[in-house]
Amino acid sequence: MNEKPFRVFVVEDNDWYNKLLVHNLSLNPDYQVIGFQKGRDCIANLGQDPDVVTLDYRLPDMSGIEVLKQIKKENPDIQVIMISEQADINVVVELLKEGAYDYIVKTNDIRERLLNTVQHIRNNLGLKKEISQLKKEVQKKYSFSQLVQGESDAIRKVQDLVSRALTTNITVSLYGETGTGKELVAKAIHYNSNNRAGPFVAINVSAIPSELVESELFGHEKGAFTGASYQRKGKFEEASDGTLFLDEIGEMELPFQAKLLRALQEREITRVGSNKNIRINCRIIVATNKNLSREVKQGNFRQDLYYRLLGLPIELPPLRERGNDVLILAAHFARTFCKENQLPGKKLSPPAMQKLRQYPFPGNVRELKSVIELAVTLSDSDEIGPGDIVFGEEEIIDLSQTEELTLREYDRKIVTSYLERYNNDVKLVAKKLDIGTATIYRMLKEEKER
């Protein structure tokens, strides 16, 4: 299907001036320009879906403002450029209030002004379409079926709870070990909920110094403290009409917990250095790898804040408790990585599957994703073998058992290891390690001269 042309209606009762405007706009081959001499004729043809209407303020059958109101009533997305011989500021203000995009006076330079204005509208329209497409792609990327994958009983329970979270604006608390996918689940909830048109704002509480947490979340006024050289909105304001994701909420220190509790209860915040209360309107999703109930008993987390944040609790199971889900996820990560890098598809061999099933994955889904992406890179065929499956934990243990080496010595050790694995194929090893063949030959020469 061909893309809809950029269509411009010219509404001008003066026949000569009408033809002049149509001619000037038609010089751009991308524009489809249609002229009308009466307001009612323009309105009758709005079904052709024009992008822009240039509208004379004085018409024989209707006033320009009447036509403008009717156009906006029929389709608010149509941009209307008013054209007139007079420059009455009161008239201009009234027309702009009614939704006119611009007001151009009939002068000698109207051609350039009109062409620039129409081009500006077209650029904005293209940007809106691009943003709309990006939003659709983001929603597809974070679709429920893409993110919460698996067939185990543990993950089916998660899927059921997440689907319930999509139908309301209830606060969601996500629990689970590091790497179980808490932020991805939070994004899946946001991009499939009624808040999806708003922003998804994430903040890792543990990564912010305690003295800056209030400023980060609530914002600050210029001069509120040393270094505050400008006014800044906090994360709560940034997430307006969307979702605020507070990761590692269990790391928040007690003094600020009381302020957060008040903000959630009153649905308002106060920027640092200000006395003005600001209403907030965003969904809250929190995540932690701690047992918050235990933290409450130990006095590290406020009980009232705990109950305020509890909402719908969802516990994400560790990968080692999900059985065959490891293979489902591994196949998904391999397909995705191959597609993103324009590589032919690669499947897991039975021995590789067995190796994955036997490994406990202390880093959970995040570790599995890294392992599979490396395996796809190392594999030389359309099948991923057990030798392509490399677990980072094994590598760390091996390094800790060796003597201390310099960085150059480690580089030589890695290159030598790869040469042994790939039968001294220097070009292949250079490609695998993303280094030049000259670097490898130089290292071999240095090793020989030692």
Contacting residues for 261 by C-beta, under 8 A, at least 6 apart? 302, 304, 305, 308
Report residue 446 as tokens: 């240095």
Beta carbons within 8 Å of 275's beta carbon, 6+ residues apart: none
pLDDT tens for each residue of 328-377: 999 999 998 999 899 999 999 999 999 999 999 988 999 999 999 999 99
Let me know if the fold of 6-136 is the same as that of 321-449: no
pLDDT of 12 over the 80 cut? yes
Tally the residues of the chain: 450
Contact status, residue 385 vs residue 351, Cβ threshold 8 Å: yes
pLDDT tens-digit map of 59-113: 988 888 899 999 999 898 899 999 988 777 887 888 888 889 999 888 877 888 8
Distance of CA 426 to the CA centre of its chain: 40
Neighbouring-strand partners of residue 34: 9
The CATH code for residues 144-317 is: 3.40.50.300
**Hey, which residues does 243 pair with through a beta bridge?**
200, 283
117: closest CA among 133, 105, 135?
105
Contact status, residue 98 vs residue 65, Cβ threshold 8 Å: yes
Pull the structure tokens for residue 29.
């081959």
How confident is residue 301, by pLDDT bands cut at 50, 70 and 90? very high
Going from N- to C-terminal start, the domains of the chain cover: 6-136, 144-317, 321-449
Selecting from 1.10.287.110, 1.10.8.60, 1.10.10.10, 1.20.120.400, what CATH number does the domain 321-449 have?
A: 1.10.8.60
Neighbours of 233 (CB within 10 A): 14
With 70 as the cut, is the pLDDT of residue 297 above it?
yes
CATH topology of domain 6-136: Rossmann fold (3.40.50)
Structure tokens at 422: 């790939």
Q: Is pLDDT above 70 for 147?
A: no
**pLDDT above 80 (res 420):** no
